[in-house]
Amino acid sequence: MSYLAAIKPILRKSRDNKTIVACGSLLLLIAAVALIGPLISPHDYAGTDFENSFLSPFGGDWHPFGTDDLGRDLFVRTLLGVKVTLFVAIIASTVSLGIGVAYGAIAGYMGGKIDALMMRAVDALYALPFIFFVILLMVVFERNFLLIFVAIGAVNWLEMARIVRGQTLSLKRRQFVDAARLIGVSTPGIILRHITPNLFGVVVVYMTLTIPQAILVESFLSFLGLGVQAPQTSLGSLVNDGVVHMEGAPWLLLLPATALAVIMLCFNFLGDGLRDVVDPKKNA
Amino acid sequence: MSLLNVNDLSISYADVAKPVVNQLSFSVEAGQSMGIVGESGSGKTQTAMAVMGLLPANAIISGSIRFDDQEFLGATPDVMNQYRACRIAMVFQDPMTALNPYVRIGDQLRRILLEHRICKPAEARDRVLAMLQRVGLPDAERQYRVFPHQLSGGMRQRAMIGAALLGEPDLLVADEPTTALDVTVQAQILGLLRDLRSQSNTALLLITHDLGVVAGNCDHMLMMDDGRLLEEGPTRDIFAAPSNERTAKLISASPRINVPSKTTPLPGGVSPVLKIDTVSVSFKERSSSTKSRLHAVRPLSLEVLPGETVAIVGESGSGKTSLARAILGLIPAGSGTISYVGKRLPALVQSRSNEIRRQLQMVFQDPVTSLDPSMRVAEIVGEPIGIHEPKKKKAERERDINEMLQHVGLTSELRERFPHELSGGQAQRVAIARALIVNPSVLICDEAVAALDGTIQSDILHLLQAEQADSGLSLIFITHDLSVVRQISHRVLVLYMGRVCEIATNDELFERPQHPYTKAMLSSIPVPDPNVKQDEVPLMGEVSSILEPPTGCPFHPRCQHAIARCSEDIPELEATASGSVACFRAGELDLSY
């Protein structure tokens, strides 16, 4: 299928790019540890142990990251945080990808009044203050894990739609689209078969850059206490908890914050690397 | 001693297997005009860039380039800058990208003078104005203050040449200086270069793919192919008796108009397959505050017979592509009707039935952008089958694809390739295969060979002619290149600013042109024969703005035969012996060869 065809050269070139290989492997490693780690560790994320609270790293019985104020193992909690954060980010980005690509490609290809109408709707949504929007959601519905996806996705797809529309505008002027019209391909056929596969490069790059954005938003919401609810946790919530004990037990802040920073940096570098690979001018 | 001595020059890149220039040696004497000729990929531009010291940092260069007494290879940028502009200067192919779009023309030229300390700052302005006048920019004071985009292509190239000549260099390197220009403007620019050289003792290194340009402008020439030198010597000798087989082939493949056409005669008494009746095309002018419309094509009628090739010829802005797109329904026609075998067609392709769509196909100018970059060759060629014969079995479909690839001269090994893995000629064959697989009865070729090298160009033209002989396909060939027209068309329609100047049969048009514009275009084509004198510039000026067309005949401001009436009334098309012509003086002028 043509989508695969569009990814293949990107994958091939990615293998020669040191940044992509390094960041990609590190992310896979982090994800693997986050999945396997909790199974190996003798502790679980919710188990409290008040006798062993505020243990420093490597103190006590198998607590490589120490324990928090309730004596919960920070290592397992950080891994859970990583898992939840990555999960939220990837799902939210995928949602925004789906809506954004479809919306942007249709608006861009149809053009004229349809395009104007669809993009003004995007502008209107953009004008909503995000935090106000989230708080509103939280008030109307209840606090809920799913709501975080909705909130993040609802913001991210707007930008994706704009980028995809811009790309589509330039693609639809290319002559292969005229050629497709002449041989009788229908409008949905052109969008599906000829426009979207050629958007792929840009979209992949953009997605790796929206993931850290989604992570940040999720952390921000959790930091404000609007995110994931205890005993579930995310990196943002862990950092939030850590701030309280910053003076007495700095590792409670530093360790999850480091994990968050490493993941963010990896995604950012990955996006930069992919952008180089996809940019045809860099390969000339 | 020679002015420029290139010795054993080799250029290669780490990521390219073969060297792009391989052990090239030549020299240019003071005041000499040397042409470097070759097809794309022959290494001619790389050589020019190496001479100017403009190769990218990752180029691996060996050999020697001596200019006067200075070795250029390995020279520091400071040393190079002492030579550039003052001793050696360059004119690039595309003046739009070679000029800084944000700086006024006069200031760009003045900076060259000041940067190289050619004259005192106080004199700079006057010297620039004098140069602008010298390169033929009318109203130099005004041109001094304009930005590059406000000039036409020909004017920009004049400014570029002026910039190169400011330091009165000993050697002018010109890399395809006229390739991006219309044929009548090309003749003007080449004439300008000849004039300027006759006034000073500047040597010229002219890089081009066009043997006609070299024949008329260079005493010496150098043929390159695949990075190697094929042959070098006086231009006359090489054209008269090429010693190299490949050179001989390139010379014989270069299209010329002084040969009779080789088209097959048409059967009489058949009804037209395509009928265009008073079709016009106009666009809304968005930038202007008045709601004026841009009239790309004025009402125009044309009938195309089965098996006929009709060429539509015109310079940029003549409306030839708009006409083609309107016929195909890619843009709506403003007025008039288009009928296929007597049936009137809906204006837009979306509202035409699949059966009708199948009958009218198109081959585009740029083979690379007309193929979907994410699809493989087999998918591209097979896509129309899926639409028009969705019930066809997979095996049958695959067989059809293979047969069609073979038919257009491609091996089935290319099936799994992507468009960017194909050469220009191969890609254009794929585009032709995609159009032919649905068995159309009319094929519109929009500059279908313009982007291809000479030898590949003639291969593609032969392929189309063979297809026509086989299946009785009608061709509408849109081009600016009259030598291509000469080779393949039965009838020719000459467009100027959206109006028909002349319609005539091929032989009639080339031997006895009726319209002064046709005649001017014919005389502007560089002839690949050094014995043909090309001193005169046949047509001055450039195409007027289509937004403010001149009153009367659109061609009259450039026409040397114009009379008072030409600027008042618009001439109607009137029948002649073999076609029709729109000129008040058609009967009285003798323009034949």
Query: Phi/psi at B31 (nearest 5 deg)?
Result: 80, -5
Rounded CA separation B136/B145 (Å) = 16
Contact assignment for B366 to A184 by CB distance below 8 Å = no
Task: List strand residue ranges (DSSP E) for B153-216, in order.
Answer: 171-175, 203-208
pLDDT of residue A215: 83
Q: Tell me whether 0.90 is exceeded by the ipTM.
A: no
Cα angle B98, B172, B49 (rounded to 5 degrees) comes to 60
**Chain A residue with Cα closest to B352:** A184
Distance of residue B389 Cα from the nearest chain A Cα, in angstroms: 12
Query: Residue A274 in contact with residue A7, Cβ under 8 Å?
Result: no
- The CA–CA distances, whole Å, from B140 to B130, B146, B467 equal 8, 10, 53
- Those of residues 425-484 in B touching chain A at CB distance below 8 A are 431, 434, 438
Which chain A positions have a beta carbon within 8 Å of B431's beta carbon?
A: 179
Tell me the pLDDT of chain A (284 aa) as tens digits: 456 666 676 777 778 888 889 999 999 999 999 888 888 877 777 777 777 777 777 777 777 887 877 778 888 899 998 998 888 888 888 888 889 999 999 999 998 899 999 999 999 988 888 778 777 877 787 767 777 777 777 778 898 999 999 999 999 988 999 999 998 899 999 998 899 888 877 888 888 878 888 888 887 887 777 777 777 888 888 888 888 888 888 888 999 999 999 999 998 898 888 877 776 544 43
Q: By the CB < 8 Å criterion, does A192 face chain B?
A: no
> Which segments of chain A does DSSP mark as H helices, in order?
2-15, 18-40, 74-110, 112-127, 130-140, 145-172, 175-183, 187-189, 196-223, 235-244, 251-278
β partners of residue B469: none
pLDDT of residue B267: 73
Chain A and chain B share a number of CB contacts under 8 A equal to 74
What tokens does B114 get?
């000041």
Nearest to B434 among A2, A9, A183 (CB): A183
Q: By the CB < 8 Å criterion, does B297 face chain A?
A: no
One-letter amino acid for residue B14 of the chain: A
H/E segment holding residue B197: helix B183-199
H/E segment holding residue B573: none
Nearest to A179 among B360, B370, B418 (CB): B370
Which chain A positions have a beta carbon within 8 Å of B433's beta carbon?
A: none
Which stretches in chain B have pLDDT values below 70? 261-262, 286-291, 534-535, 593
Query: Residue B318 in contact with residue B497, Cβ under 8 Å?
Result: yes
Q: By the CB < 8 Å criterion, does A182 face chain B?
A: yes
Query: Residue B10 in contact with residue B33, Cβ under 8 Å?
Result: no
Query: Residue A87 in contact with residue A34, Cβ under 8 Å?
Result: no
Which chain A positions have a beta carbon within 8 Å of B418's beta carbon?
A: 5, 9
Distance of residue B354 Cα from the nearest chain A Cα, in angstroms: 6
Query: Phi/psi at A33 (nearest 5 deg)?
Result: -60, -40
Query: Residue B1 in contact with residue B47, Cβ under 8 Å?
Result: no
Interval B407-462: pLDDT, tens: 999 998 899 888 888 888 899 999 999 999 999 999 999 988 888 887 888 889 99
What tokens does A280 get?
């045809």
Contact assignment for A175 to B418 by CB distance below 8 Å = no
Which chain B positions have a beta carbon within 8 Å of A181's beta carbon?
A: 330, 349-350
Place of tokens 């040696």: B25
Beta-sheet pairing, B335-340 with B442-446: unpaired
Nearest to A175 among B364, B384, B388 (CB): B364
Q: By the CB < 8 Å criterion, does A248 face chain B?
A: no
Rounded CA separation B71/B67 (Å) = 6
- The CA–CA distances, whole Å, from B389 to B352, B382, B386, B401, B504 equal 17, 10, 6, 13, 40
Rounded CA separation B251/B254 (Å) = 5
Contact assignment for B418 to A198 by CB distance below 8 Å = no
Q: By the CB < 8 Å criterion, does B357 face chain A?
A: yes
Query: Residue B570 in contact with residue B579, Cβ under 8 Å?
Result: no
Burial B148-164 (b: 16+ CB within 10 A, else e): beebbbbbbbbbbbbbb
Burial A228-241 (b: 16+ CB within 10 A, else e): beeeebbbbbbbbb
One-letter amino acid for residue B385 of the chain: I
Interface test with A, best of B374, B432, B446 (most A CBs within 10 A): B374
Rounded CA separation B470/A253 (Å) = 80
Helix axes A251-278, A18-40, angle to 10 degrees: 140
Domain boundaries, chain A: 2-34+73-283
What tokens does B382 get?
């097979």
What is the SS3 assignment for B505-556? EHHHHHHCCCCHHHHHHHHHCCCCCCCCCCCCCCCCCCCCCCCCCCCCCCCH
Report the candidate in B336, B362, B499 with the shortest Cα–Cα distance to residue B436.
B362
Q: DSSP letters along B404-461, please?
A: HHHHTT--GGGGG--GGGS-HHHHHHHHHHHHHTT--SEEEEESTTTTS-HHHHHHHH
pLDDT of residue A279: 62
Query: Residue B526 in contact with residue B533, Cβ under 8 Å?
Result: no
Q: By the CB < 8 Å criterion, does B366 face chain A?
A: yes
Which chain A positions have a beta carbon within 8 Å of B383's beta carbon?
A: 180, 183, 185, 193
Beta-sheet pairing, B293-304 with B274-284: antiparallel
Q: By the CB < 8 Å criterion, does A6 face chain B?
A: yes
Contact assignment for B357 to A183 by CB distance below 8 Å = yes
One-letter amino acid for residue B6 of the chain: V
Helix (H, G, I), strand (E, B) or coil at B69: coil
Q: By the CB < 8 Å criterion, does A170 face chain B?
A: no
Q: By the CB < 8 Å criterion, does A156 face chain B?
A: no
Cα angle B523, B527, B533 (rounded to 5 degrees) comes to 75
Q: CATH homologous superfamily of domain A2-34+73-283?
A: MetI-like (1.10.3720.10)
Residue B531 makes CB contacts below 8 A (sequence gap 6+) with B236
Q: By the CB < 8 Å criterion, does B328 face chain A?
A: yes
Contact assignment for B372 to A181 by CB distance below 8 Å = no
Which chain A positions have a beta carbon within 8 Å of B328's beta carbon?
A: 182
Q: By the CB < 8 Å criterion, does A283 face chain B?
A: no
Rounded CA separation B464/B452 (Å) = 15
Rounded to the nearest 10°, the torsion over CA B14, B20, B26, B32 is: -120
Query: Residue B218 in contact with residue B35, Cβ under 8 Å?
Result: yes
A257 φψ region: left (φ > 0), alpha (ψ -120 to 50), beta (else): alpha
Nearest to B330 among A2, A181, A198 (CB): A181
Query: Residue B433 in contact with residue B406, Cβ under 8 Å?
Result: no
Contact assignment for A198 to B357 by CB distance below 8 Å = no
Domains located in chain B, CATH noted? 31-53+77-253 (3.40.50.300), 274-581 (3.40.50.300)
Rounded CA separation B495/B302 (Å) = 12
Which chain A positions have a beta carbon within 8 Å of B387's beta carbon?
A: 183-185
Query: Residue B493 in contact with residue B503, Cβ under 8 Å?
Result: yes
